[in-house]
Amino acid sequence: MNKIKTIAISVGLSVISLIALSCYQGAENGGNTHSLYMMKRLPDNSQNPAPLLILLHGYGSNENDLYSFEGSIPSHWMVVSVRGPHQKGENSYCWYDIRKAGDKMIIDAKQEADSRAQLIELIKELTNEYQVDKNNIYLAGFSQGAIMSESIALTHPELVKGFASFSGRLLDEVKPLVIPSDKLKQIKSFISHGTEDKMLTIQYATENLAYIRSLGITPEYVEDATGHVISEKQFQAFLKWLGN
């Protein structure tokens, strides 16, 4: 379990330098035939069709970080870890660029929308290519990956059964796209955050929880006195939530 902590910390540290760095398009597909580059673990076929877990990394990281989760996910699940489409350095990718203006973080809205569209297309590709249960698809992400996971689940509840957000938030730019519906109320959600998070403060979690509850969704919420990381407590709670 210490491995999980180390991975989360390495992702968090990469986020610190985001203000001075910009992403650029250029994630090589490496022979991958899907919309986005990914690592995958196929299910053991004990449950057919299989539930699907899609993992999304944070800013400045890559698909290898959260893929370490796969060893803790039951073998009947298909697990996919996706690489962000915008490259900012060697083995360093993001879903959209960010810059700071005063106390505000300004996102590249076009990149965010394009990445969201690519992830939605990837979900459709996976359900067509593999024996995946279309009614049992979950997204889980850390930091910027958490933002993407929640955004897709809330704007396309017909595609996703649930989402997990580790140290994330919901973008104001996405809220107008969220349309309250009965399908939305059926979304399962897991949110975790550290009270000592300096990158995305605990206030984001408080506001996010209030917004999600206003949509008729009852999230599972875990917080502890950690920073911009995925702690052991958070990860174990996530595994329990996913199992339920």
Domains with residue ranges and CATH for the chain: 2-243 (3.40.50.1820)
pLDDT tens per residue across span 27-83: 333 345 678 999 999 999 888 999 999 999 999 999 999 999 999 999 999 999 999
Kindly report the average pLDDT of the chain as a whole number: 88
* Mean predicted confidence (pLDDT) in 209-238: 97
In degrees, rounded to 5, the angle at the alpha carbon of residue 210 between the alpha carbons of residues 226 and 110 is 85
C-alpha torsion angle, residues 112, 147, 3, 187 (rounded to 10): -130
Q: Is it the case that residue 173 has pLDDT exceeding 80?
A: yes
Confidence of residue 210 (pLDDT cuts 50, 70, 90): very high
Looking at residue 221, what is its pLDDT? Answer: 98
* pLDDT at position 21 over 80: no
The 10s digit of each residue's pLDDT in 131-164 is 999 999 999 999 999 999 999 999 999 999 999 9
> Could you tell me the pLDDT band of residue 104, with boundaries at 50, 70 and 90?
confident
Tell me, what's the pLDDT at 33?
Answer: 64
Residue-level pLDDT at 20: 27
Higher local confidence (pLDDT), 108 or 24: 108
Residue 2 has pLDDT above 50, yes or no: no
pLDDT score for 18: 29
Bridge partner list, 93: 61, 87
What is the separation of C-alpha 213 from the centre of its chain, rounded to a whole number of angstroms?
19
State the maximum Cα–Cα separation within the chain, in Å, rounded to a whole number: 53
What mean pLDDT comes out for the span 206-227? 97
Confidence of residue 189 (pLDDT cuts 50, 70, 90): very high
pLDDT of residue 22: 34
pLDDT above 60 (res 11): no
pLDDT computed for residue 39 by the predictor: 97
Span 211-217, average pLDDT: 96
Residue-level pLDDT at 54: 98
- What's the burial of 148, exposed, middle or buried (CB within 10 Å: 0-12/13-18/19+)? buried
Pick from 17, 144, 30: nearest CA to 88: 17
- Identify the CA nearest to 126 among candidates 186, 198, 53: 53
